[in-house]
Structure 1
């Protein structure tokens, strides 16, 4: 694996390891909608600077002129609905649970790829689904599998449901590939007016504590904008995309440590067990069958 791409990817993993704690601390001060508005605005500025630096602003105008409806749909899916629902889950659940449930998006993507991308539904996919959603049940019941006593069903539905919007976003992106940085810029730019209208309707345009604003800026920088740019650069430079992508799964264990240390959130064994099942399901479907050598 290219050394520079590995360093960039590990830097992003460290960033993403901190954001669950940032979500929880910031949500203690403001609403999910307010936090998302600040984060999206921050990310938009970062992506705009990157687009100008790469001299791709004319491409953004071209994309918007050709496919305004398409990019509006993408913007509604991500960041608008995906992060609103995800942040609402973080607001209702312990951050460790919401984070673990969010990782089901990769499994949802493999399911949606069957009807929308014409991929085959295989035994491997079925096993990965069973593993991942067994993990969801473990987390949702906090290990009380026999009683199936769901501690916070709405939070679990939101945590898992957010993956549907993120997977839909990637399905649409796959069907119409365009420059990644420009596409993200348009998605975040078109999301801002939508979020602003929602803020106005709900009367959430108010003075906010500086700590909350700082938290939103941190999330916009290290969960979204800057992290996305570094990750895309790492993916462009690597000669092994699958291996690099698997580094993402280093993030949850580090995140659990930070949640326990900074957010005073005790680590539950059921979360660890469920997370292992979910990640196992995701990684299992990435296994490649070894070809037998021909005689």
Structure 2
């Protein structure tokens, strides 16, 4: 084995560990959202978590010695950062946390997971990309899964227990997709971009707090929950995934690990939140994951490999 191939193997092993750690972080956040919202309002949760994440990212950039890049990036893209900051963390997490406040975590989490398909569909009008047949099929399969989850296994009745909560969860996917599509306009370091984005989003959150009548200090449990969300959902998981992408020689090696997150999340929701997982949730999640796999071409790749092995 050559030194180069040994280095590649070592990098791939490191990427696998980092990717699995990121997926584990993401798998816990749905439970963290639901538990934290027992002690905090959605606005309190997103505000505290965003401050924590901003401070964490600032510390990371200081450690990476990238402080000079903040001024350069801001001067070049300040209009984009202002727009991105409104989308995330302000609007996206406010909408998402309100969805979690209205819906069981087992419903809100799979519905939010459809953002990957929404991203592909929105790239057509926003980035002038071509719409593929697999994108349309993926969207159809995903939203059948959404319907199964939202109606608790009776999609033909079209009766929703919390239609506003379902609408918020789906709207959060549109906001998140727009955020990443806008991000394509900006180059540079991802951590720098995220810090500047959050700095632009914090004033919106502080204004919303004042508009609601000022700040009321939550109990200790609320502070701990928001601290966890800020560190792991908005900070550490992002850096772990970024590190995994930089360490591997092919992103396809780790991209499929993301499919582990929703099933693990449902297991933790049952164990930590105490929700009894509905059969319709499992069936709907299966359809959503199938739709995402279709959209990414995973099924076509598996079929090709199966035919080649015959």
Q: How does the TM-score come out when normalised to structure 1?
A: 0.95
Quick check: 1:124–1:284 contact (8 Å CA) kept in 2?
Answer: yes
* Residue 236 (structure 1) aligned to one of 227, 246, 256: 246
Aligned residue in 2 for 1:254: 264
**Match status 1:104 vs 2:114:** yes
The within-5 A match list for 1:56-205 is 56-205=66-215
Quick check: 1:34–1:204 contact (8 Å CA) kept in 2?
Answer: no
* Residue 44 (structure 2) aligned to one of 25, 34, 39: 34
Aligned residue in 1 for 2:273: 263
Aligned residue in 1 for 2:219: 209
Provide structure 1 residue ranges, at least 5 long, that are not aligned to the other structure.
Answer: none
Comparing 58-67 and 88-97, the one that deviates more = 58-67
Q: CA shift at 1:204, angstroms?
A: 4.5
Quick check: 1:85–1:162 contact (8 Å CA) kept in 2?
Answer: yes
Aligned residue in 2 for 1:245: 255
Distance across 2 between alignment mates of 1:116 and 1:145: 31
Q: Deviations over 1:10-58 (max 9, x none)?
A: 0111111111111111101110110011111111111001111111111
Distance across 2 between alignment mates of 1:196 and 1:245: 36
Q: CA shift at 1:65, angstroms?
A: 2.2
Aligned residue in 1 for 2:34: 24
Quick check: 1:89–1:98 contact (8 Å CA) kept in 2?
Answer: yes
Aligned residue in 2 for 1:224: 234
Provide structure 2 residue ranges, at least 5 long, that are not aligned to the other structure.
Answer: 1-8
Q: Deviations over 1:81-128 (max 9, x none)?
A: 111111110000000110000011101100011122222112111110
Aligned residue in 2 for 1:45: 55
Please state whether the residue corresponding to 1:67 is helix, strand or coil: helix
Distance across 2 between alignment mates of 1:180 and 1:271: 34
Distance across 2 between alignment mates of 1:104 and 1:94: 17
Please state whether the residue corresponding to 1:68 is helix, strand or coil: helix
Q: CA shift at 1:262, angstroms?
A: 1.4
Comparing 34-43 and 57-66, the one that deviates more = 57-66
Q: How does the TM-score come out when normalised to structure 2?
A: 0.91
Distance across 2 between alignment mates of 1:201 and 1:160: 26
